[in-house]
């Protein structure tokens, strides 16, 4: 077979040992020891495959198969970091199918015209630092603000995390790709939703990636005695936050099926059963494939937040911490994937991505494309996340076929 399905699956299983968490899932945060273990394993497989291996100043790992010509490379890959107690396929499927597709070409001694480069991006999930798509933002030059201003919950700055990871401490913005360094970027990723499974189709050709805007909000009330304080005198920050969770949900439901709004994190202070919460920290994540619809939903939520504070005699603020524009995939790349699918006899369907991906950044450098793999029960960011060995093999085959077409091998 043109790709080694057993090798691919054994590597998926091997990487699961890095970051097993108590909830039965995977916790492999950006620049953590768990993520480093997985990245070092992939580095070893890249070296064994004869690829030229390097890390950039942001900790992104690259493995390059030289082409007959130098010049713009075709980049393919994804990420190895996870959300807390996440699954074992989000990101991992993309890194390992990319390695499998390139390694199988190298084993056949077939040199493409253009170099093919496998990448594992750092910090795709904003689970440790408040900004996601970190590694690809440094490659594409889209990182907002100063790296030293970015801190995780323990107060570790991004530069300190880079040094602890074993990097030289060079400014991660020096990871910026040179002009014309890449011709295309392709990412294989699990669909993380139900469309492919509902159609009985193993692979999807992604048409575009939703844009997101994320806020961190603080609501200040007054901590008081849970028994002594009458209901009409309270300034309960958590009751206010609860109203905002439902207001965000309503704003998205009233907008469009493609509009999504989520409050993923709520922290209450002081967090004792007999104290009325005086302070709440919470996040808002608002997305849509259409930028103006996303922004209309976000402004309605900000409006409801202001009205809520006044209504409940609370104070507070909502700060934007992350934004990415909706991104189109390239028609030529989609066609290359579909030709590869037709040649391999693998059915595909075109579909959008509600999740964001590193391609939203890399699209600043070159045309992008994505291949989705079927997710069982549409689950992701959940320990039960699963994609079958057969679907992973199909994804690696499609990717290999698309790389052959785009890299001048077909
Ligand atoms: O948030 C996302 O869509 C991705 O999982 N980072
Ligand atoms: Mn994810
Ligand atoms: Mn992902």
Residues 111/70, Cβ–Cβ less than 8 Å: no
Closest residue CA from atom 6 of ligand 1: 125
Q: 378's torsion region: left (phi>0), alpha (psi -120 to 50) or beta?
A: left
Residues 230/297, Cβ–Cβ less than 8 Å: no
CA 355 / ligand 1 centre spacing (Å): 5
Phi then psi for residue 350, to 5 deg, are -85, 140
Position 110 scores a pLDDT of: 84
CB atoms near residue 69 (< 10 Å): 12
Whether ligand 1 lies within 6 angstroms of the CB of 385 is answered as no
Question: What value does the mean pLDDT take over residues 115-129?
Answer: 97
Does residue 26 register a pLDDT over 80? yes
User: How, if at all, do strands 266-269 and 279-288 pair?
Assistant: antiparallel
- Measured from the CA of 125, which atom of ligand 1 is nearest? 6
CA 406 / ligand 3 centre spacing (Å): 24
Does residue 1 register a pLDDT over 80? no
What's the sign of the alpha-carbon dihedral 91, 369, 367, 210? negative
- Measured from the CA of 285, which atom of ligand 1 is nearest? 1
Ligand nearest to the CA of 95: 3
CA 125 / ligand 2 centre spacing (Å): 6
CA 348 / ligand 2 centre spacing (Å): 22
CA 356 / ligand 3 centre spacing (Å): 8
- Measured from the CA of 355, which atom of ligand 1 is nearest? 3
Position 169 scores a pLDDT of: 83
CA 83 / ligand 3 centre spacing (Å): 9
Question: What value does the mean pLDDT take over residues 200-219?
Answer: 97
Whether ligand 1 lies within 6 angstroms of the CB of 117 is answered as no
- Measured from the CA of 356, which atom of ligand 1 is nearest? 3
Give residue-wise pLDDT tens across range 218-270.
999 999 999 999 999 999 999 999 999 999 999 999 999 999 999 999 999 99
117: nearest Cα among 105, 131, 132? 105
CA 83 / ligand 2 centre spacing (Å): 6
Whether ligand 1 lies within 6 angstroms of the CB of 355 is answered as yes
CA 88 / ligand 1 centre spacing (Å): 14
Ligand nearest to the CA of 82: 2
Ligand nearest to the CA of 209: 1
Grade residue 410 by pLDDT with cuts at 50, 70 and 90.
low
User: How, if at all, do strands 73-79 and 116-121 pair?
Assistant: parallel
| Lookup result for tokens 């959940």 | 382
CA 103 / ligand 1 centre spacing (Å): 28
Whether ligand 1 lies within 6 angstroms of the CB of 125 is answered as yes
- To test ligand 1's pocket by mutation, which of 132, 210, 360, 379 has the most ligand atoms within 8 angstroms of CB? 132
Q: How far apart are CA 217 and CA 310, in angstroms?
A: 15
Does residue 126 register a pLDDT over 70? yes
- Measured from the CA of 83, which atom of ligand 1 is nearest? 5
Question: What value does the mean pLDDT take over residues 164-191?
Answer: 95
Give residue-wise pLDDT tens across range 289-305.
999 999 999 999 999 99
- To test ligand 1's pocket by mutation, which of 357, 379, 380, 385 has the most ligand atoms within 8 angstroms of CB? 357
**341 burial level (CB within 10 Å; 0-12, 13-18, 19+):** buried
Position 315 scores a pLDDT of: 98
CA 166 / ligand 3 centre spacing (Å): 24
- Measured from the CA of 192, which atom of ligand 1 is nearest? 5
Q: How far apart are CA 404 and CA 238, in angstroms?
A: 55
Does residue 145 register a pLDDT over 90? no
Using DSSP's 3-state secondary structure scheme, residue 21 falls into coil
Whether ligand 1 lies within 6 angstroms of the CB of 286 is answered as no
Q: How far apart are CA 76 and CA 65, in angstroms?
A: 12
45: nearest Cα among 86, 90, 2, 4? 4
Does residue 12 register a pLDDT over 90? yes
Q: What is the DSSP code string of 104-143?
A: HHHHTT---SS-EEEEEES--STTSSS--SHHHHHHHT--
Question: What value does the mean pLDDT take over residues 33-57?
Answer: 98
Angstrom distances, CA of residue 375 to CA of 190, 384, 406: 6, 10, 27
Q: How far apart are CA 201 and CA 26, in angstroms?
A: 27
Q: Looking at the DSSP assignment, which residues form a beta bridge with residue 387?
A: none
Question: What value does the mean pLDDT take over residues 342-370?
Answer: 97
Rg (CA), the chain: 22
276: nearest Cα among 234, 240, 217, 315? 234
């Amino acid at each position: 077979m043109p790709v080694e399905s057993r090798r691919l699956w054994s590597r998926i299983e091997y990487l699961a040992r890095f970051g097993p968490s108590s909830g039965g899932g995977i916790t492999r945060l950006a620049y953590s020891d768990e993520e480093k273990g997985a990245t070092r394993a992939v580095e070893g497989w890249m070296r064994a495959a004869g690829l030229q291996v390097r890390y950039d100043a942001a900790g992104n790992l690259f493995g390059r198969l030289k082409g007959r010509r130098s010049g713009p490379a075709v980049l393919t890959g994804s990420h190895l970091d996870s959300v807390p107690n996440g699954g074992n396929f989000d990101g991992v499927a993309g890194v390992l199918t990319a390695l499998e597709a390139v390694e199988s070409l190298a084993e056949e001694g077939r040199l493409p015209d253009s170099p093919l480069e496998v990448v594992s991006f750092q910090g795709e999930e904003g689970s440790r630092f408040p900004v996601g798509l970190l590694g690809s933002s440094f490659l594409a030059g889209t990182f907002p603000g100063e790296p030293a201003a970015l801190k995780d919950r323990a107060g570790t700055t991004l530069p300190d995390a880079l040094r602890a990871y074993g990097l030289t401490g060079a400014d991660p913005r020096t990871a910026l790709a040179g002009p014309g360094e890449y011709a295309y970027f392709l990412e294989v990723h699990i669909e993380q939703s139900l469309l492919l499974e509902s159609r009985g189709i193993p692979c999807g050709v992604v048409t575009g990636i939703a844009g997101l805007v994320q806020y961190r909000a603080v609501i200040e009330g007054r901590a008081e005695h849970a028994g002594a304080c009458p209901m009409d005198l309270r300034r309960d920050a958590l009751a206010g936050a609860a109203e905002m969770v439902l207001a965000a949900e309503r704003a998205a439901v009233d907008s469009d099926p493609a509009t999504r709004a989520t409050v993923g994190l709520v922290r209450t202070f002081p967090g004792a059963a007999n104290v009325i919460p005086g302070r709440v920290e919470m996040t808002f994540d608002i997305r849509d494939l259409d930028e103006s619809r996303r922004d209309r939903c976000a402004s309605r939520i900000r409006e409801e937040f202001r009205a809520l504070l006044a209504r409940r005699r609370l104070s507070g603020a909502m700060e934007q911490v992350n934004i990415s524009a909706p991104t189109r995939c390239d028609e030529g790349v989609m066609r290359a994937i579909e030709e590869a699918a037709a040649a391999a006899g693998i059915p595909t369907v075109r579909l959008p991505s509600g999740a964001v991906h590193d391609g939203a950044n890399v699209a600043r450098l070159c045309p992008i494309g994505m291949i989705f793999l079927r997710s069982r029960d549409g689950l992701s960011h959940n320990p039960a996340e699963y994609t079958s060995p057969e679907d992973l093999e199909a994804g690696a085959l499609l990717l290999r076929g698309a790389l052959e077409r785009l890299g001048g091998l077909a």
